[in-house]
Amino acid sequence: MKNSLLLFVFLFIMACQKDVENITIKGIVFDKYTHKPIKNKIIGIKIECWKYGNSPDESYAEHEIKRIIVGSNGNYSVSFNQGAFVTFDVATDGYGRYINSLYVNNKEETHNIDLIPLH
Q: Considering the domain 19-115, what is its CATH architecture? A: Sandwich (2.60)
Q: Which residues pair with 25 in a beta bridge?
A: 78, 109
Q: pLDDT, tens digit, for every residue of 9-68? A: 444 444 456 888 899 999 999 999 999 999 888 899 999 988 887 666 667 778 889 998
- The domain segmentation of the chain, as residue ranges, is 19-115
Q: pLDDT, tens digit, for every residue of 61-118? A: 788 899 988 888 899 999 999 888 999 999 999 999 999 999 999 999 999 999 999 9
Question: How are the residues of the chain apportioned to helix, strand and coil, as percentages rounded to the nearest 5?
Answer: 10, 50, 40
